[in-house]
Amino acid sequence: EPEVTQTPSHQVTQMGQEVILRCVPISNHLYFYWYRQILGQKVEFLVSFYNNEISEKSEIFDDQFSVERPDGSNFTLKIRSTKLEDSAMYFCASSVRPNGGDTEAFFGQGTRLTVV
DSSP per residue, 5-66: EEE-SEEEE-TT--EEEEEE--TT--EEEEEEE-TTS-EEEEEEEETTEEEEE-TT--TTEE
Q: Toward another protein, which CB reaches closer, 71 or 102? A: 102
Residue 2 makes contact with another protein by CB under 8 A: no
Half-sphere exposure of 50 (CA within 13 A, CB side): 13
DSSP secondary structure code for residue 99 in this structure: S
User: Residue 61, interface with another protein (CB under 8 A)?
Assistant: no
Q: According to CB under 8 A, which one of 11, 13, 58, 76 is a site residue for another protein?
A: 58
x/- string (CB under 8 A) for another protein, residues 16-55?
---------------x-x-x-----xxxxx--x-x----x
Q: What's the rounded Cα separation, in Å, for the pair 95 and 13?
A: 30
- Applying CB under 8 A, does 99 fall inside the site for another protein? yes
Is the Cβ of residue 57 or residue 66 nearer to another protein in the bound state?
57
State the Cα–Cα distance between residues 59 and 52, nearest whole angstrom: 20
104 binds another protein (CB under 8 A): yes
DSSP class of residue 85?
A: G
Residues that bind another protein (CB under 8 A): 4, 6, 31, 33, 35, 41-45, 48, 50, 55-56, 58, 91, 93, 95, 98-102, 104-110
